[in-house]
Amino acid sequence: MSLSADNLDWSLIRAFLAVAEAGSLSAAARKLGQSQPTLGRHIKAAEAVLGVELFQRVPSGLALTDAGAALVGPARQMAEGAARLTALVSGQETELRGTVRITASVVVSHFVLPRIMAELRRAAPQIEVELVPTDGTENLIYREADIAVRMYRPTQLDVVTRHVGDAPVALYAAPSLLERFGVPRDLEALARIPFVGFDRSDLILRHMRAMGMDVDRHFFGVRCDDQAAFWQLVCAGCGIGGMQVQVGEADARVVRVPVDLELPSLPVWLAAQGDVLRAPRVRAVWDALVAGLKG
């Protein structure tokens, strides 16, 4: 393996690691916010500098060669080191300006955070916000985000967490749907009304079975795993669906279904690297999220 450290640009290692973890150029390009051709050129450049082939094509995308697999560990160490260096620099900032990158679930990003972000922009207009709606897990250590809003307790090491509260969940439906099928008052009546469900996820199925409703995925006449689209389907009258109360009560297109059910609440957590959180701009956004999500 021929290697010149002077020619080993960090961007090449970052591209290699992204493809190694994603398994394809397209998925890695989306993760990095780059074009697929640009990422492909970075991989070829990395192979040229290192003097080895890093990937081989397989039906599902790209697979690591033995040489590539041997480099994943050191590449991750470089990524963590670069992230810590950036975090330390961020922690030395003193001005309330700059960019803060937030990652949150699709539902929270679409229906909860816009109001909080608007208030933040009025209070601190010099802070720029990048919002990443995803139900995946962005890596705070690699600085894929500065702050994460999670609906579960984060377990990543070297990350500061705060439990903001719990978001209650209820069932909602469009008035037109209830006009057609009647307003249910118990589980038996509820089971006779169409529902919107998830497609590949069995989360709703498990909750309904726990409530005593013996149903399978075909019970849902419309299924969608994208939770923002799921909510639009509920609002359009495709079926009953569960949603966070702060979202459902704010939407005039639906009404709460008056069946006495105890649906599990969703815990709301914030997470950030400690060094990053010391930057005034990040702390200001963190505090705005704490105040807004509690409300």
Distance of CA 140 to the CA centre of its chain: 12
Half-sphere exposure of 125 (CA within 13 A, CB side): 1
Residue in 246, 243, 242 with CA at minimum distance from that of residue 295 = 246
pLDDT at 85: 61
Ranges 16-30, 171-185, 232-246: which has the least confidence = 16-30
Tell me what the mean pLDDT of segment 126-148 comes to: 81
Q: Give me the percent of the chain exceeding a pLDDT of 70.
A: 89
Q: Per-residue pLDDT for 182 more than 80?
A: yes
Tokens of 102: 């937030």
- pLDDT at site 256: 97
pLDDT category of residue 5 using cuts at 50, 70 and 90: very low
DSSP β-bridge partners for residue 171: 242
List the one residue out of 284, 270, 271 whose CA is nearest residue 100. 284
Q: In what order do the strands lie in the sheet with 98-104?
A: 127-133, 98-104, 147-150, 266-273, 159-167
Indicate whether 26 pLDDT > 50: yes
Three-state DSSP state, 37: helix
Q: How many CA atoms lie within 13 A of 69 on its CB side?
A: 6
Residue 1 pLDDT class (50, 70, 90 cuts) = very low
Q: Which of 22-26, 104-108, 206-210, 273-277 is predicted most confidently?
A: 104-108
User: How many angstroms separate the Cα of 32 from the Cα of each of 1, 35, 136, 179?
Assistant: 27, 9, 14, 47
Rounded-to-integer distance, Cα 213 and Cα 232, Å: 24
pLDDT tens per residue, range 7-18: 567 788 888 888
In angstroms and rounded to an integer, the radius of gyration of the C-alpha atoms of the chain is 23
Question: Closest Cα partner for 193 from 229, 152, 234, 226?
Answer: 234
* Residues whose CB falls within 8 Å of the CB of residue 136, separated by 6 or more in sequence, listed in order: none
Smallest CA-to-CA distance from 212 within 190, 196, 234 is with: 190
Cβ atoms of residues 28 and 40 within 8 Å: no
